[in-house]
Amino acid sequence: MPGEFERYLFHEGTLYKSYRMLGAHITAHQKQRGVRFAVWAPNALQVNVVGDFNNWKGENDPLERMDASGVWFGFIPDLKEGDLYKYEIHTPSGDLIQKADPYAFASETRPNTASIIHQLGGYEWQDVKWETNRKKRDHYHEPMVIYEMHAGSWKKKENGKFYTYRELADELISYVASIGYTHIQFMPLMEHPFDRSWGYQITGFYSVTSRYGSPEDFKYLVDQCHKAGLGVIMDWVPLHFCKDDPGLRQFDGTPLYEPRELDMAERPNWGTCNFDFNKPEVVSFLISNAMFWLEEYHIDGFRVDAVSSMIYLNHDNTLAVPVTNAYGGPENLEAIAFIKKLNEVIFSQYPHILMIAEEATDYPLVTSPTSAGGLGFNYKWNMGWANDVLRYMQMEETERSHHHHLLTFSFMYAFSENFVLPFSHDELVYGKRSLVNKMSGDYWQKFANLRVLCGYLMTHPGKKLLFMGSEFAQFDEWKDLEQLDWNLLDYDSHTEFHHYFKHLIHFYRSNRSLWRLDHKQEGFEWIDPHNSSGRVISFIRKGKRRGDYCIVVCNFSSTVYSNYRIGVPAAGVFQESFNSDAKEFGGSGQQNTGRLLVEKMPYHNQPYSMEVTVPPLGMVVFTKKPIQRKQKYRKG
């Protein structure tokens, strides 16, 4: 029976593993095996359990209301793992409704909607080494390149069916690891009824979707990712839930998980209901949900969806009359308090987890600690940078010189937060076109533009994220009902770009100056941000150690600049370390060969300078050649 203290914490909003108290748990009572059920339905007149074991008739399996807290409890003998069930709820208005268990650990495959009795634990994890090393790592000062993907459309079988979690483990992991990614980020894998919601409208927050297999199958996928050195990030949606009848909406016949006020509960743009962050039980439900995925599935972090819509009452919410808080402001004060509490709880138990905010406004201190007045995330998507730079890349060359600020403005705020630079699915769907098809110019120029764009991405401060298919220049925008266009790898331009992208990531990962001080101003220095007419920018990325730096030049024009002078910080000899215009990548082959000598000629506010060749629509990186010291030999 759920204990009194547990119930107290749940109603206080501080029971952070409430899934251990509520839901369906296989256990023994008076030496008899069965299942213990517990559900929160404070306004229900009666709650019964129905399922395939009682022909979906609940009169013989009622639950007992424990007290005024609204938790209903009961034990049914002889039930076993795999049995189907729902809660039959007698509402205050006299209706009889059936609801899936909010805490169900497994669910039927759509279009069926029953919950499935499932025993937690039981999987023998093999990732102890990964878990141990994760505690020692400092991701702020490490390379991070995230592969965002939709499990249902990465690849499909010839008959159109989905790959299972285990089949994904067999093919996906080796592919992603070979390119050089550090993490895989899955679009939401919680149970959802409609494929085309992509998982963002959820019915089963504690159920990994059965579309691709069982909970153990998904654990195997995560386990294999960890064995291959890949972290796993989950898209998580604590803002809202779908209105489907078996789900959370009007759960006990009244607004329970959603606010009572209609304008606060409804999110018309998405046809969903908002969570009520003012209810402590909802706070317990959501924070416990995050803890559940970390504990039961060994997830390495979350990309928290729609944080802007949590912070602001009217963001992406076209109500007839704007909603305000108690003080007349636009902020959702209860949601902000929830976000801070969430991050405090998560980091108190999992200090090395990634909590990444999809936040699109200029709300301050998103990645600052709550003790300093921040929201407490450790990363934020830099959606402003993505929007600016993609807008620039779609312009014809003649226009670009008039919009040079779109390339450089991000450095005005690049170190105000810990940023992830995202080219996500949001930019590649609904007529927005794929990355390569956004690029201006003819066919060759599109690929060259994409090469320089990705080069700029990898050398710009911040962690990186790209949506699946971008690594081989998928030409069509994302088609969520079809697999990626893998046949494009039969064509030279796409094969060469795939080759380029792999080399680019490995170059990024092997050069500490490109990530060691990602979130510190001292890790970046402009050489020349002002050459708008030439459409060229140049800058220095610095590591922590003295002399650990590289010089980056990006040319967003199709002009080859020979004898192009740039300022450099020190005397010596430089060499070209990476060039996106190499012929092996599909480029024109305008490269810098041999030694590049530095002259004692101040330029670009630097004490020295050198002349280089800047390739058309190209990114080139220069590093200082180490001094070859002669060894001295002693006689005898």
Write out pLDDT tens, residues 70-129: 999 999 999 999 999 999 999 999 999 999 999 999 999 999 999 999 999 889 999 999
For the chain, domain boundaries: 142-233+276-514, 521-624
* In the predicted structure, residue 155 carries a pLDDT above the cut 80: yes
The residue-averaged pLDDT of 397-419 equals: 97
Residue-level pLDDT at 69: 84
Q: What is the pLDDT of residues 469-500, one digit of tens each?
A: 999 999 999 999 999 999 999 999 999 999 99
Q: Please tell me if the domain spanning 142-233+276-514 has the same topology as the one spanning 521-624.
A: no
Average pLDDT, rounded, for the chain = 96
User: DSSP labels for 612-631?
Assistant: EEE-TT-EEEEEEPPP-PPP
Known catalytic membership, residue 305: yes
Contact 78, 87 (CB under 8 A): no
Average pLDDT over residues 328-342: 97
Say if residues 262 and 321 touch (Cβ distance below 8 Å): no
Looking at residues 411-429, what average pLDDT do you find?
A: 97
CB 16 within 8 A of CB 291: yes
pLDDT band at 319 (very low <50, low <70, confident <90, very high): confident
**Cβ neighbours of residue 222 closer than 8 Å, sequence gap 6 or more:** 127, 232, 297, 298, 299
Residue 634 reports pLDDT greater than 70: no
Over pLDDT 70: what percentage of the chain?
98
Residue 564 main-chain phi, psi, to 5 deg? -85, 120
Q: Which pLDDT score is estimated for 631? A: 55
Phi, psi of 237 (to 5 degrees): -125, 80
Mean pLDDT value of segment 591-603: 95
Query: How many Cβ atoms are within 10 Å of 515's Cβ, its own excluded?
Result: 25
CATH number of 142-233+276-514: 3.20.20.80
> Distance between CA 619 and CA 550 in Å, rounded?
13
Closest among 599, 595, 601 to 628, alpha carbons compared = 595
Q: Is 67 exposed, middle or buried (0-12, 13-18, 19+ CB in 10 A)?
A: exposed
Measure the CA–CA gap between 424 and 462, rounded to whole angstroms. 15
The DSSP secondary structure of 324-390, one letter per residue, reads --TTS-SB-HHHHHHHHHHHHHHHHH-TT-EEEE---S--TTTTS-GGGTS---SEEE-HHHHHHHH
Catalytic residue among 88, 223, 235, 358: 358
For every residue of 407-431, DSSP letters joined together read HHGGGGTTTSS-EEEEE-GGGSSTT
DSSP state of 162: B
pLDDT for the residue 628: 60
pLDDT at 629: 60
Q: Which residues neighbour 362 within 8 Å (Cβ) at sequence distance 6 or greater?
A: none
Residues 279, 248: Cα–Cα separation, whole Å: 14
Question: Quick one: pLDDT band at residue 636, thresholds 50, 70, 90?
Answer: very low
Range with the lowest mean pLDDT among 119-123, 277-281, 296-300, 608-612?
A: 119-123
Q: How far apart are CA 606 and CA 572, in angstroms?
A: 14
**Which residue is listed with tokens 């990355």?**
435
Cα–Cα distance between 552 and 461 in angstroms, integer? 12
Active site (annotated) includes residue 244? no
Phi, psi of 443 (to 5 degrees): -60, -50
Decide if pLDDT at 314 tops 80.
Answer: yes
Q: What is the pLDDT of residue 350?
A: 97
Q: Give percent of the chain above pLDDT 90.
A: 94
Q: What integer is the mean pLDDT of 583-608?
A: 96
In the chain, the N- to C-terminal Cα span, in Å, equals: 85
Query: What is the model's pLDDT at position 31?
Result: 87
List the catalytic residue out of 101, 217, 266, 305: 305
Q: Report the C-alpha gap between 292 and 19 in whole angstroms.
A: 8
Amino acid sitting at position 216: E
CATH no., domain 521-624: 2.60.40.1180
Q: How far apart are CA 468 and CA 458, in angstroms?
A: 16
How would residue 2 be classed by pLDDT, with cut points 50, 70 and 90? confident
Label residue 635 by pLDDT band (50, 70, 90).
low
Quote the longest CA-to-CA distance of the chain: 104
